[in-house]
Chain A
Amino acid sequence: MAEHPTPTPEDLRSRTRTLLEEPRPTPLDFLRARFDAGLAWVHFPEGLGGLGAPRALQAVVDAELAAAGAPDNDPRRIGIGLGMAAPTILRYGTAEQKERFLRPLWTGEEVWCQLFSEPGAGSDLAGLRTRAVRDGDDWVVDGQKVWTSSAHNARWAILIARTDPDVPKHQGITYFVCDMTDPGVEVRPLRQITGEAEFNEVFLTGVRIPDAHRLGAVGDGWRVAQATLMNERVAIGGLALPREGGMIAPVAKTWRERPELRTAELHDRLLGLWVEAEVTRLGAERVRQQMAAGAPGPEGSGLKLAFARLNQRVSGFEVELLGEDGLRYGDWTMVRPEKVDFYGRDAGYRYLRAKGNSIEGGTSEILRNIIAERVLGLPSEPRTDKDVAWKDLPR
């Protein structure tokens, strides 16, 4: 591909206006055209929805599109695809894989889910036991995955499975793209404390995955998965919010609209939480600025930890502030929602859903280990299983 100069903000504005000029019959037509114009994610390469531009310039495109009222790709419905699958495919995928998967992933035509955790492999993800055995040009996969958000809507999954039980656990894992319509895939809803089933258990029985859908080398799946997990944590914790956005927004609204709930003690705590929300927002903004400047710092590791703590404290405060109304709950009916929703519904839902923020995508305890070891350079936890073949580990 020919070298092009980096686009300027003015270039991007003009490209966006050109895109908007031509009428499109449906929102999907518009999203496809936007992808093809390189305005989907401008930091991706040309031909894959981007222009090879600095990530920070996406804001220029987004502002133009928002001002024009253009349809978007409903990111909350396809968060796993956008935040986790896409960056991993971009980094480790073959040209064919990028060509096949990225466009429908971004437009939302194909929803993605993540088949990582297992009943016996949570924080110790590398201990996973789902097996993938080579059979001709295919791999045959058997096992069970759990906590799989959006599996019931998903067309594709990113999957890690054990391909070699005779080597230590981190070395025998391979990373695949799994077709969720394969007859060997069974998705069962897993009801959670909110009453609904945002996530699922996924049973894999003789699922056939062509070797062409392997991501990265055989046995290199742990390294590939690290890229996914880092992106997941930034995706969860690094959401761009306006001041007083996110979990603090409904609390501030209630405070303003219902003076009868106010007490002096609640006031000071409310402002303490407002400050924490603003500081957490600034911290995430600073990480985005570092990434945009091409100098990511270790600060990204803390985003999800801060986000979980804030959401849990604020949502707990909200239920308490509501007093008698905090005793009501919207609806315990089992439903299978289309999107992952941290902020929706009522205070009780927000309080309960936020409990997951310190578990999903790496528990806060694991994140503290990571910060202590990789950022602060403190000694690793003792690892008795590190140099033992996976098949010989005590169970």
Chain B
Amino acid sequence: MNLLYSEVEDDLRAAVRDVLADHCPPGAVPARVEGGEPYDRGLWRVLAADLGVAGLLVPEKLGGQGATAREVAVVMEELGGAVAPVPFLGSAVLATTALLGCATGEPAVADLLGRLAAGTETAALAVSLASAPGAPFPAAVRADADGRLTGVVTAVADAAAAGVLVVPATGPHGSGLYAVAAADAAVEPFVSLDLTRPLSDVRLAAAPARLLPAGDAAAALDAALLTGAGLLASEQLGVAQWCLDETVRYLGQRHQFGRVVGGFQSLKHRLADLWLEVVSARAAARAAADALAGDGRDAGVEVRVAQAYVSGVAVHAAEEGVQLHGGIGMTWEHPLHLYLKRAKADEIALGTPGRHRAALGALVGLPAVG
């Protein structure tokens, strides 16, 4: 197990950070999310197409970078640290991983993956963001004999930015993953707690769809949710690290009682404890990414450990940030609230900590009562 960052990963981080510094300073995000254009399409184009991060997980022969979950995790850290309003999780992680679990030799799958990797297409996986790995295959959408889809999927991440929806549906031939043009569905954004990752309800009324050939669609979907959950821990780490850094910086310059506020021992100790949580979260997130990048044998445990732990760290870091900033932390103008909202939404996304703990109990032989 390698818990460090490689040179390639450090370089990738620097490149993503440069782009974000140019296009997406945290102070500019609050104005954008209220401007009726929640996604930063210009930023997404630079990241996805120019930098190639949309294709990290896609093999080179399909037009991607042939990288692993380790590199994707570094991108997630940086996007979390900027609460960047881009559909990376929905498209480059969830939808892409689901497609990679399908028959990638089939043109329908390979073509879509190629376009996603090139950044010329954006997709979303049509499941609730609150779905957890290990859950039963969703029953919300039916496929009829003609392959048309009908049903409602609520709380889908990044659907509003997607041209294609990857929809799990059950039809006459069992469970399947289908590609639906977003234009053929009713994608209805709702007011989301997390301003920087807008969610939508997706309504399908006999929508034309194309079955994506897959040996085991349920396994492909579950692998996507597991990968998404494991990589979400890196996003949560990025959120937590930003909140810690920003709070330390602020308390290092704020004066009260004729002293730097950060010199008061009660605050120093709270920040030291928070630092230790973030350090531990980094080890957990790296372990999950490394396990997903390897043969995946240990990924089930490490992903659950990372989710069960890092979710709470991100929320705690954001809450401490708000409290320790005092009144300014309660303002709309200061970007801290975007991190609090992201952290709290991420706690629910792809399984709550309690669900991951329960799943872990079964995996490591610590059974529940009865």
* Contact surface of A with B, Cβ cutoff 8 Å: 244, 252, 255-256, 259, 262-264, 267-268, 270-272, 274-276, 278-280, 282-283, 285-286, 289-290, 293, 299, 302, 305-306, 365, 367-369, 371-373, 375-381
What's the least CB distance linking B279 to chain A, in Å? Answer: 5
Q: How far is the CA of A278 from the CA of B242 in the complex (A)?
A: 24
Q: Are B279 and A299 in contact (CB under 8 A)?
A: yes
CA distance A378 to B253 in the complex (A): 10
Q: Which residue from A278, A289, A290, A378 sits with its C-beta under 8 Å from B271?
A: A378
User: For the complex, is B51 an interface residue (Cβ under 8 Å from A)?
Assistant: no
Q: Which of B144-185 contact A (CB under 8 A)?
A: none
Out of B265, B284, B304, name the residue touching A282 (CB < 8 Å): B284
List chain B residues, Cβ under 8 A from A267. Answer: 361, 366, 368-369
Would B309 and A378 count as touching, CB distance under 8 A?
A: no
What would be 9 A-B contacts, judged by CB atoms less than 8 Å apart?
A: A274-B360, A283-B280, A285-B283, A289-B3, A289-B4, A302-B279, A305-B276, A372-B262, A376-B248
Most buried by A among B1, B279, B280: B279
Which chain A residues border B27 with CB–CB below 8 Å? none
Across the two chains, which residue of chain A brings its CB closest to B365? A256
- B286-A286 in contact (CB<8A): yes
B interface, CB within 8 angstroms of A: 1-4, 248, 251-252, 259-260, 262-263, 265, 268-269, 271-273, 275-276, 279-284, 286-287, 301, 304-305, 308-309, 354, 357-358, 360-361, 364-369
Contact partners of B301 in chain A: CB under 8 A: 278
B287: chain A residues within 8 A (beta carbon): 282
Contact status A378-B269, CB under 8 Å:
no
Q: Tell which of B263, B265, B279, B357 touches A271, judged by Cβ atoms closer than 8 Å.
A: B357
- Residue picked from A271, A272, A276, most chain B C-beta under 10 Å: A271
- A371 touching B275 by the CB < 8 A rule? yes
Please tell me if the beta carbons of B268 and A279 are within 8 angstroms of each other in the complex.
no
Give chain B nearest CB distance to A290 CB in angstroms: 7
Residues of A within 8 A of B284 (CB): 278-279, 282
| A275 near B275: Cβ-Cβ < 8 Å | no
Contact among B2, B252, B279, B368 for A378, CB-based, below 8 A: B252
Residues B366 and A268 in contact, CB atoms below 8 Å apart: no
User: SS class of chain B's interface: helix, strand, loop or mixed?
Assistant: helix
* Bound complex: CA A274 to CA B305 (Å): 9
From A256, A259, A371, A381, give the contact of B272 (CB < 8 A): A371
Contact among B4, B252, B357 for A268, CB-based, below 8 A: B357
- Contact with B354, one of A262, A268, A302 (Cβ below 8 angstroms): A268
CA distance A99 to B58 in the complex (A): 57
Interchain nearest-CB distance for A386 vs B (Å): 15
Report yes or no: A369 in contact with B283, Cβ–Cβ below 8 A. no
Given contacts A274-B364, A376-B271, 10 further A-B pairs with CB under 8 A are A263-B369, A267-B368, A268-B357, A272-B357, A274-B366, A276-B309, A286-B286, A367-B272, A371-B276, A378-B271
Q: Is the CB of B272 within 8 A of A376?
A: yes
B263 neighbours in A (Cβ, 8 Å): 378-381
Once the chains are docked, how many angstroms separate the CA of A293 from the CA of B2? 11
**Complex Cα spacing A305 to B286, Å:** 21
* Chain A residues with CB below 8 A from B354, complex form: 268
Tell whether, in the assembled complex, residue A306 and residue B275 are in contact, meaning their CB atoms are under 8 Å apart.
Answer: no
The reply to whether B366 and A372 contact each other, CB–CB distance below 8 Å, is no
A209: min CB distance to chain B, Å:
38
- A279 to B283 Cα, complex, angstroms: 7
Which of A285, A302, A365, A378 has the most chain B CB atoms inside 10 A of its CB? A378
Complex CA gap A362/B273 in Å reads: 16
Judging by beta carbons under 8 Å apart, are B265 and A381 in contact?
Answer: yes
Once bound together, how far apart are the Cα atoms of A375 and B309, in whole Å? 23
Residues in A neighbouring B309, C-beta threshold 8 A: 275-276, 279
CA distance in complex: A37, B369 (Å): 54
Q: Which residues of A contact B268 (CB under 8 A)?
A: 368-369, 372-373, 376, 378
Give the residue among B263, B301, B304 with the most A Cβ atoms within 10 A: B263
CA–CA, A259 to B368, complex, Å? 9
**Nearest CB on A from B222, distance (A):** 21
Give Cα A377–Cα B284 distance, bound, in whole angstroms.
25
B258 to chain A, nearest CB (A): 12
Contact (Cβ within 8 A) B262 A286: no
Given A271-B358, A271-B360: A283 touches B283 (CB 8 Å cut-off): yes
Q: Is the CB of B279 within 8 A of A377?
A: no
Tell me if A302 and B276 are in contact (CB < 8 A).
yes
